[in-house]
Amino acid sequence: MLLLCNYYLTYKCNAYCEFCHFGDHNVFKDTPYAKLEDFKSNVKQLAEMGVKFIDLTGGEPLLHEEIHLMAEFAKSFNMQTSITTNGLLYHKFAEKLAGIINLLHFSLDSPDEEEHNRIRKVDCYKSVFESIKIAKSLGEFPDIHFTVTNETYKKLPGMYEIAQKHDLVLLVNPVFSYFENPGLTPEAVDYVDEYCDGKMDVYLNKGFMKLRRDGGNDINNTSCKAVTRVIVISPKNEIILPCYHFGNERIPIDQPIKDIRNSEKFKYYKQMEGKFDFCQGCTVNCYFEPSFAFPTNLYAISSLTSKIKYSYNKLIKQKISKLKISNSTEK
């Protein structure tokens, strides 16, 4: 079942994050932005195929001048939408995006301003908090998105304090191993897992942590559903197989997407899903999140309990926030 579309609106970014390959601007400087016309055509087809969730991603997604039109179009098909941003451009799109983004994440890499800006190699710490203020004034319910690395995992208590102060959920995103990034050490995995355990307003997918403790994906007993449950579309209007991070096949969308997914080439990647040599040890969150969507194994069960807690907590915070806004308006 196709659940999720990771739609790369651009590979360009306005930050230079240490843990992210999009920080190498020289590599992506000549890449295009996704065309609105292509986006609409693709999203309409995906909706007909049953896709329920679309991540508008990049690079920095808010560099795309028409992102609000894209989000609004996806929302018109009852798709759940998500954006993760460094906050530098949120003020520009805040009102246009209000009410059409289900999961709005502001990236914060450290509770310390100097460290956050050093990691991002751009002064954007204050922009995160200004974005939070703007979003909440518009009735939005953002999360603080903390990509945990081996250098920052012990900053979790400080990050938790910030989330508590702003009455937001702290979304803990364990860095994964790909390209030259080594992923979390066993010590970091244990620390993160133990610290987050039992905290209602922290979201950590427990399935991710179990997968890391088990050494990542096992090509002989794969848990990956990156091909069957996820579709990845590039700014050049291509489907990337088997996934973005290890993409070795790019198929131009010059025919109906359904036909591409029924092609012999696609069937090959479906058969090899999670079984390529480069799939061994993989822990890329973008694909294991939907892979764990159904409780068919221990990873999925661990993931499901985390998601239930997150959804419940977000609902409670939204109700409280709306009540506060209502009381304030009455006064």
Domains in the chain: boundaries: 4-330
Distances (CA, A) of 328 to 95, 320, 323: 21, 12, 8
Quick one: pLDDT at residue 208? 94
pLDDT mean for each 10 residues of the chain (331 residues): 95 87 73 96 97 96 98 97 97 97 96 96 97 95 95 97 95 82 89 93 93 94 95 98 91 98 97 95 92 82 80 70 60 54
Tell how strand 249-252 and strand 238-241 pair up.
antiparallel
Contacts (Cβ under 8 Å, ≥6 apart) of 323 = none
CA-based torsion, 199, 202, 205, 210: positive or negative: negative
pLDDT in tens, 96-125: 999 999 999 999 999 999 999 999 999 999
Distance CA 226, CA 102 (A): 22
Is the bond preceding residue 174 a cis peptide, omega within 30 degrees? no
- The helix (H) or strand (E) run that includes residue 26 is helix 25-28
Q: Does residue 275 contact residue 219 with C-beta atoms inside 8 Å? A: yes
Q: 4-330 belongs to which homologous superfamily?
A: Aldolase class I (3.20.20.70)
